[in-house]
Structure 1
Amino acid sequence: MMTRIDARDRLIVALDVPSAAEADALVARMGDQVRFVKVGLELYTVAGPDIVRKLVDRGKRVFLDLKFLDIEETVRRATARVAAMGATFLTVHANRKALMAAVQGRGSSDLKLLAVTVLTNFDGEDLREMGIQRSVQDLVTARALLAAEVGCDGVVASGEEPQAIRAKVGPNLVIVTPGVRPAGKGTDDHARVTTPTQTIAAGADYLVIGRPIRDAQDPPAATTAILEEMQAAFDRRGR
């Protein structure tokens, strides 16, 4: 019998705030509702490794979204430092050399590596400006195949792509989807946006949600509503 997915294990709340104090306050306010949090460039720039260790010590799982892309030695050594902090997920741009270096750098740790396929604020026109003639979906699936080939655990992709990724790569690659917005909440600066229900139905495993929670009048109430929608969608999907 298949174990029921608990939505609280699959919601990643983005702590996109400008200080450690604000991150602490948001985490404290949401309490046990939120088990998994994202630390991105803004918070890491001001609070550094200490915020990651503090969150881990509080029993939170941490998705460190730093999108590494550099020469192999730098990526390898930096990934080893992230593994030592106790983070659960780390993002690396889907470049073969960078991904392979990150796989080496994490060693035998439990750190899961996620390849960034195509940023959720990009569309086909953005790719053409970069000299890439493929469609967004073709590029995402090609990079997901690369991630699986070199030993990454998963990918970051918009809610429009999980179905295509599953068709190409199979069921075992973890798919983490940012740019998720409850219906009626707008798109902010994401070009490819889906609701929690759509994203989970398409095959995503984890949803990253920031502004709809952070900017809500009542973040715990907003989180409860999102978790209820997610739970219903996971129960319908049955995996």
Structure 2
Amino acid sequence: MSTNSENENSNYLTNVQDFSMDSTSLYKYEIKIAKTNHKVPVVNDVHLHSIYNPTKEAATFIAKNKKLTNVKNEILILGLGFGYHVGEAIIALKEKWGTDYKIVVIEPNEKVYMDYLEHAELSDVNLKIYAGYKIQDLYKDRFLVDYLLTKPGIIAHPASFNLYENYYKNLLSYQAPKDVGSFDQYIESAILRDNIRRLNQDSDLLTAINEQMYPKEEELDNTDHFFMAFNEMVKGSISIEGRDK
């Protein structure tokens, strides 16, 4: 929190709103003006940037991550605030990689994001921001999942990460549901989706396929052959990764 006197704080206050509280939402939110005239969001009494000089703070923070930005041109930033650190990350990546870089930012609070758009939006074609998403919905986004599979460098914005520590830890350790019923919304092929629905929706996929296939007295059809091949592919992948031990 700011160490300014009560009168000084009242001068910085520009917008105060109350919100219902859950694990990621705001119950108290305000925007203050730093001594450098930059706007600073304050969530649940936590200043997301320095109330004195947020741009200097951001530059110092990203400088401490220079080793990472020098070896990784794809970065995942946990926490947006009003994006001062994101702007500095863009500068650092451009210096090293030119235009060959990507930044994805994940911000739990949509309100913070909406005010960022109004007060401090960054314009960069290599920047993508996800705001206000539930974790399970983030993992439904194909672009984000593919991005995470590239193992980007991770920069956790300290104030944001501390404020939403559980959210970010759950994000990074997320394990997708394994029951067949959870796959339905991800399958684009109507034919495949219809065939998947033939399986036991409460079982994991391998178990459900085995239940469907064995024993099977009638002649196998094309779908059965697909399930058999898919079953072997998945088992082979699990064996290679060592998850069968």
Calculate the TM-score normalised by the size of structure 2: 0.29
Q: Greater RCO between the two (CA within 8 Å, min separation 6)?
A: 1
